[in-house]
Amino acid sequence: MNKLEKYQGVIPAFYACYDENGEVSPERVRALTQYFIDKGVKGVYACGSSGECIYQSVEDRKITIENIMAVAKGKLTVICHVACNNTKDSMELARHAESCGVDAIASIPPIYFRLPEYSIAAYWNSISSAAPNTDFVIYNIPQLAGTALTMSLLAEMKKNPRVIAVKNSSMPVQDIQMFQAAGGDDFMVFNGPDEQFISGRVMGAAGGIGGTYGAMPELFLKADELVRANKMEEARVLQYDINEIIYKLCSGHGNMYAMIKEVLRINEGLDIGSVREPLTGLCEADLAIAKEAAQMVKNAVAKYCA
């Protein structure tokens, strides 16, 4: 098997799983992991944006990845985002993730201060050195991190043989082509924006990592299948329907992840709690939106995946 094959396909970003008191729930982490195995996705991307990493402690994140691995080992490819905005804690999480047996670790650049590229490279390489037997994925999400991956920074990072991919959440699909060309054959790019999943795949992303996949994994698996089969018109129609669902998920007063968790509760009977403050949970009026979104998912699954 090509060493990148295990990363190619549909990789949902894993949601933060909380109990009734808002604490990370090991049982719910395990239940969500099993849900993804049952749906037939390629892997999961843990502790990233969708995992609310920015609002979780080092300990919360350790509990999350330990419980994912307890269920996923040998069944899913697991990429664990370990960035904590300081090198020390990020290295600790990298070491821990490797000890749990993840396939890859990932990291955004440090946020808040605008650091020079050599500082970002040093940060990423220190994190990678703490997991010396584990692949490393650069997480490019400039609209949230405030720093974009440049071609010169990528060239610098390519000197580290563990750097195997960019998870690209910038909006221009051309970035995917640029990163893939610079990365070469032993390198891959993941599509980040779910709204342009098929475009990213066409521009060279061999897989996708996305925050809304979990609410409708069947639809992204189908979109991936259509792209592979070169059925582009069908893929486009499906992508448009997916996008309508995403707009609905984003139309509430509460945060999109709270909405997705409600959709999972309605459609799958899967309870993984809500979101952690400062993210806003659902208000009364949002429940009707969640119901509509859940029904849209059901209708689309019946239409495309029967």
- The residues of the shown chain that bind ligand SI3, judged by CB under 6 A, are 13, 45, 48-50, 141, 144, 169, 192-195, 209-212, 246
CB 228 within 8 A of CB 276: no
> Which residue in 191, 190, 134, 180 sits closest to 158, CA to CA?
180
* Nearest approach, Cβ of residue 211 and ligand SI3 (Å): 3
CB 22 to ligand SI3: min, Å: 19
Nearer to ligand SI3, 137 or 154 (CB): 137
Active-site residue, selected from the candidate residues 35, 139, 257, 304: 139
Catalytic residue among 62, 167, 222, 261: 167
Please answer whether residues 158 and 182 qualify as being in contact, where contact means their C-beta atoms are separated by less than 8 angstroms: yes
Choice between 116 and 236, CB closer to ligand SI3: 236
Q: Name the residue nearer to ligand SI3 (CB basis): 195 or 225.
A: 195
8 A C-beta contact, residue 282 and residue 254: yes
Structural contact between residues 204 and 189, judged by C-beta atoms closer than 8 angstroms: yes
Residue 139 a catalytic site member = yes
CA dihedral 5, 136, 160, 144 (to 10 degrees): 120
CA distance 302 to 305: 6
Helix/strand/coil percentages in the chain, nearest 5: 50, 15, 35
Decide whether 91 or 246 has the Cβ nearer to ligand SI3: 246
Closer Cβ to ligand SI3, 77 or 212, answer by number: 212
What's the min distance (Å) between Cβ of 171 and ligand SI3? 9
Question: Shortest distance, CB of residue 46 to ligand SI3, whole angstroms?
Answer: 9
CA dihedral sign of residues 192, 94, 111, 137? negative
Minimum Å gap between C-beta 80 and ligand SI3 is: 11
Identity of residue 46? A
DSSP 8-state symbol, 25 = -
The reply, when asked if residue 209 is annotated as ligand binding, is yes
For residues 121 and 153, give the distance between their C-alpha atoms in angstroms, rounded to a whole number: 7
As given in the structure block, the two tokens for residue 272 are 């993984």
Number of Cβ within 10 Å of residue 244's Cβ equals 12
Give the DSSP letter of residue 195.
G
158 is catalytic: no
Q: Which residue is nearest to ligand SI3 (CB)?
A: 48
| Residue set of the binding site for pyruvate | 209
As annotated, the active-site residues are 139, 167
| Residue set of the binding site | 209
